Amino acid sequence: MPKTVTLYHNNRCSKSRAALSLLNVRGIDADVVNYLDTPPSFEELQSIFAKLGADSPRSMMRVKDALYRELELDNPTLSSNDLLKAIAAHPALLERPIVVAGSKAAVGRPLENIEALL
């Protein structure tokens, strides 16, 4: 079990609250980042993306959100850095919850992704 676990959290989101509860039940003291109040920097987003091991930052974005469509982020010519910069500028685009544990990360949709990470 990694020493430091970080939860990118939105308290208004039931999945995010469920992830926090899961960590608490497991006795894991997480650093909770309310990412709408304290948005991750572009560099932090790059690190999270790398730890997710995903093909595209879209895996950590709220792709069904109206803002995603308004900003035309579905454009296939956008680079990973373009997408990460969009999240940095508009943290509401970040999917939630995301747990980072050591060198790995998981989007908690479904929560089983977090279970597998732990």
pLDDT at 118: 87
3 has pLDDT over 80: no
CA distance 108 to 17: 11
Confirm whether 13 is a catalytic residue: yes
CA distance 19 to 79: 30
Would strands 31-34 and 5-9 be described as parallel, antiparallel, or unpaired? Answer: parallel
Question: Annotated catalytic residue: which of 13, 18, 28, 54?
Answer: 13
Please work out, in degrees rounded to the nearest 5, the angle formed at the alpha carbon of residue 21 by the alpha carbons of 19 and 25.
Answer: 120
Q: Answer whether 83's CB lies under 8 Å from 58's CB.
A: yes
The tokens of 41 are what? 């920097």
**Tens digit of pLDDT for each residue in 72-114?**
999 999 999 999 999 999 999 999 999 999 999 999 999 999 9
Which residue(s) pair with 105 in the sheet? 100
Q: Answer whether 87's CB lies under 8 Å from 78's CB.
A: no
Q: For residue 98, give the nearest of 51, 65, 63, 66 by alpha carbon.
A: 51
pLDDT at 4: 77
**Tens digit of pLDDT for each residue in 12-57?**
999 999 999 999 999 999 999 999 999 999 999 999 999 999 999 9
Domains of the chain: 5-117 (3.40.30.10)
pLDDT at 114: 95
CA distance 26 to 118: 9
